[in-house]
Amino acid sequence: MNFRATVLTLYPEMFPGALGLSLAGRALERGDWTLDTVQIREFGLGRHRAVDDTPAGGGAGMVLRADVLAAAIDHATPEGDRRPRLLMSPRGKPLTQAKVRALAAGPGAVIVCGRFEGVDQRVIEARGLEEVSIGDYILSGGEPAALVLLDAVVRLLPGVMGNEASGGEESFENGLLEHPHYTRPPEWEGRAIPEVLMSGNHARIAAWRRAEAERLTAERRPDLLISAQPTQK
Ligand code: SAH
């Protein structure tokens, strides 16, 4: 029961891309996860396999057609496919580590990559697409966003990173940004490693790391501290 990713895109050549290398690439070779792509254009209309059309109501750009995209989605998700259907979209819920974890615990994902001005609203509703954003900026297409999402998910799959990702000490895992890291040499360009880290005192080290994580979070991402507060009843 490995994690199965299916990506619907007009640019299947962009996959596996960066996910074919390093940790994700080795995991892909081992079969810890699978990735297939569906070329949306194969479901396009007419001699030119048209996938887009002008926006209803006028305005700039083009919109991905509902009928074309629905045909591609239906082809990719046979009856009984329980995988969540995601649409990469700047209007979506911002991707979080909690969402990444939930996806990694599931059977996989069907990921639709938008292009142009976006996709016809009716296919989002009719096929139950969940819109997911990777941040408050606009990409030219959903493909880099899908790569980002899958990278974050794949590293959490069993066996992909060994113990490294499971410690729960990384940024966001405990609602905090991570503490700073140091390695050899002990002194570099006149800068020493904080003395506590050289002390061998594990309790002191843990307390220092926690305090640094809290300090950094308060300084850079106070919003994380606020959202970590228990909800008021
Ligand atoms: N006109 C749209 C932007 C379209 S960008 C708007 O203003 O909301 C084209 C495609 O890129 C989108 O359909 C989406 O699939 C993808 N995309 C762009 N920015 C993204 C983001 N921040 N997160 C996820 N996908 C994004």
- Find the CATH number of the domain harbouring 219: 1.10.1270.20
Residues in CB range of 180: below 8 A, 6 or more apart? 212, 216
Of 109, 126, 154, which residue is a domain's last? 154
Q: Is the CB of 123 under 6 A from ligand 1?
A: no
Q: Is the CB of 114 under 6 A from ligand 1?
A: yes
Counting from 1 in the atom list of ligand 1, the atom nearest the Cα of 133 is: 23
Pocket test for ligand 1, best of 138, 143, 147, 150 (most atoms within 8 A of CB): 138
Counting from 1 in the atom list of ligand 1, the atom nearest the Cα of 119 is: 13
226 is in an annotated binding site: no
Q: Is the CB of 91 under 6 A from ligand 1?
A: yes
Of 129, 154, 179, which residue is a domain's last? 154
- Residues 177, 144 within the same domain: no
pLDDT for 122: 98
- Residues 30, 106 within the same domain: yes
* pLDDT tens sequence for the chain (233 residues): 799 999 999 999 999 999 999 999 999 999 999 999 999 999 999 999 999 999 999 999 999 999 999 999 999 999 999 999 999 999 999 999 999 999 999 999 999 999 999 999 999 999 999 999 999 999 999 999 999 999 999 999 999 987 554 556 788 988 999 999 999 999 999 999 999 999 999 999 999 999 999 999 999 999 999 876 655 54
Write the DSSP assignment of 36-59 as a string of letters.
Answer: EEEEGGGG-BTTTTB-EEPPTT--
136 is in an annotated binding site: yes
Rg (CA), the chain: 22
Distance 83 CA to ligand 1 centre (A): 22
- Tokens standing for residue 201: 């005192």
Of all protein residues, whose CA lies closest to atom 3 belonging to ligand 1? 117
- Tokens standing for residue 104: 């990694």
- pTM more than 0.85: yes
Positions of E strands within the chain: 3-9, 33-39, 52-53, 63-64, 85-94, 108-113, 130-133, 187-188, 191-192
Would residue 31 count as lying in a domain?
Answer: yes
Domain span at residue 183?
A: 168-228
- Residues 35, 136 within the same domain: yes
Would residue 56 count as lying in a domain?
Answer: yes
Domain count, the chain: 2
